[in-house]
Amino acid sequence: MSNKLIFIMLDGLRYDTASSQMGYMHHLIEKGNASRFKVKSELPSLSRPLYEVLLTGTPVVKNGITTNQTVRLSHEESLFHLTKKNGLKNATASYYWVSELYNSAPFNPGTDRIQLDGQKTIERGIFYWEDHYPDSHLFADANYLLQSYGPDFLYVHSMNIDDDGHKYTADSAQYRNRAIAVDMILASVLPKWLEAGYQIIVTADHGMNDDGQHGGTTAAEREVPLFIVSPRVKAGIYKEEIPQLQIAPLACELLSIQPSAAMQKLSIPILKGAPSL
């Protein structure tokens, strides 16, 4: 069974919006090929702190990435560190803050947009720095990395949903339509990626409120989706809430590598053969 994983992070996507607008992902669920879960994000419900949460499985109080303005390399062992340590190839098409967390900080657009030499923690990376950088271009970047380098772990980080949420609020046609647009991109790329033997995770860092913001404690800001497409995970829609700190150890499980010592033990019973939720 394949241990290759593509981790897709749709910045700013609320759980309820994902549940109502993402028809292709729910098609996979209806046909028994995917699962959907509700995740409760860590606090603060801000982007850079939650990138670190998702990729290292550590809370803000431990990792120290407390604000969007905390510009430094991570002090934790991320999924990029772990895959490289275990002899797996990694790559990402991401917002530049991911490069600042795991490759070098501060980010220099003139030199750091394309990093393909394989020497850093993120071995192959294509980074952008405008929040409106089109998702169509981002997924083309990701597909280039996949086809050119065959990474075992590919992290894809989209910003357009978050960008429209800030511009128009979560209670807007623009925000909902952006979620539909991303779902249509997934409908285009996922069949090929699944055929190539990859397991797929789709989740978000935080949600978005009706004022066009996030950072607080409301359900709109903290509840995000988790879709999993893997033969190792039981298909269906699950109502139980999953802590966001469980996503990194889940990724390790799907990659068949040991989690870091700082990560929680994987406790969500969703793998085939585990007790039902």
DSSP H helices in 227-277: 247-255
CB 23 within 8 A of CB 181: no
Whether 263 is in a domain gets the answer no
pLDDT in tens, 134-162: 999 999 999 999 999 999 999 999 999 99
Summary mean pLDDT of the chain:
96
Quote the crossing angle between the two packed helices 47-56 and 247-255, to the nearest 10°.
40
CATH number at residue 240: 3.40.720.10
What confidence score (pLDDT) does residue 276 get?
A: 43
pLDDT in tens, 184-236: 999 999 999 999 999 999 999 999 999 999 999 999 999 999 999 999 999 99
Whether 272 is in a domain gets the answer no
Whether 195 is in a domain gets the answer yes
Nearest to 157 by CA among 239, 79, 236: 79
Domain range for residue 187? 5-153+160-255
| CA torsion, ordered 80, 84, 89, 93, to nearest 10 deg | 20
pLDDT in tens, 253-265: 999 999 999 999 9
pLDDT in tens, 4-50: 999 999 999 999 999 999 999 999 999 999 999 999 999 999 999 99
Whether 262 is in a domain gets the answer no
Number of domains in the chain: 1
Whether 269 is in a domain gets the answer no
105-140 burial: b if 16+ Cβ within 10 Å, else e: bebeeeebeebeeeeebbbbbbbbeebebebeebbe
CA dist 189 and 69 (Å) reads 33
pLDDT in tens, 226-241: 999 999 999 999 988 9
Whether 19 is in a domain gets the answer yes
Q: What is the pTM of this model?
A: 0.97
Whether 140 is in a domain gets the answer yes
Whether 57 is in a domain gets the answer yes
